[in-house]
Amino acid sequence: MSEKGIKPVVQTYTILIDGYMKNECFDQAFDLRNKMQEVGIACNEHTYNALISGLCKADLYTEMIASGNRPDVITYTAMTSSLCDKGYLENAHSVLRQMDEAGLCPNVLVYNMLIAGYFREGNFQEGYRLHDEMLDKGLKPDDTTYDILVSLKFGDKPFVKASCMPT
């Protein structure tokens, strides 16, 4: 691409990384991620999602824990995104509990994904409970949080479905 004067963007790298991860070509995926950072392109949530999702499928998350490496907020956020995206809401919620047990404070993105997921499933009580929990932890709702709540009030369910995906 670069030979033809085309500069790849984050989406281009993410698609390639995702392909490498799906084919268990982990070295190539992480080499590409490193190259991406070298040229000044930051990973986004989708990039991390592709990396973490591939690692989880290959059971490398378990290996990571067993080898003494601790996941951080980014790891947990990517896991939550991947699980919400695949409709595994209970598993995503357990990631939230793991974060608490590890002494890490989930970010607003994690709460937004879970709230939207519960609303999408019709479990409004749990969605609102998570919203209250987020506030109790001192996290401030962002525009997406309010959009999720407003879309529920006015019946814009396509937004609630889409808001589980990070931007």
Tens of pLDDT, residue by residue, the chain (167 residues): 667 788 889 999 999 999 998 887 888 988 898 899 889 998 888 888 788 777 777 666 777 777 788 888 888 888 888 788 778 888 889 889 989 998 999 999 999 999 999 998 889 899 999 999 999 999 999 999 999 988 876 665 544 444 444 44
- Residues 52 and 80: beta-carbon distance below 8 Å: no
Residue 156 belongs to some domain of the structure? yes
**Residue 50, pLDDT score:** 84
Distance set, CA 136 to CA 88, 98, 99, 105, 129 (Å) = 25, 18, 16, 12, 10
Angle at 144 between CA 122 and CA 82, to 5 degrees: 65
**Residue 112, pLDDT score:** 95
Q: pTM value?
A: 0.61
- What distance in Å separates the CA atoms of residue 136 and residue 18, rounded to the nearest whole number? 36
Q: Which residues span the domain enclosing 57?
A: 1-69
Note whether 166 and 133 are same-domain residues.
Answer: yes
- Please tell me the chain's helix, strand, coil percentages from 3-state DSSP, rounded to the nearest 5: 70, 0, 30
Residue 75 belongs to some domain of the structure? no
- Residues 74 and 43: beta-carbon distance below 8 Å: no
- Side chain identity at residue 61, one-letter code: Y
Q: Please tell me the total count of domains within the chain.
A: 2
Residue 86 belongs to some domain of the structure? no
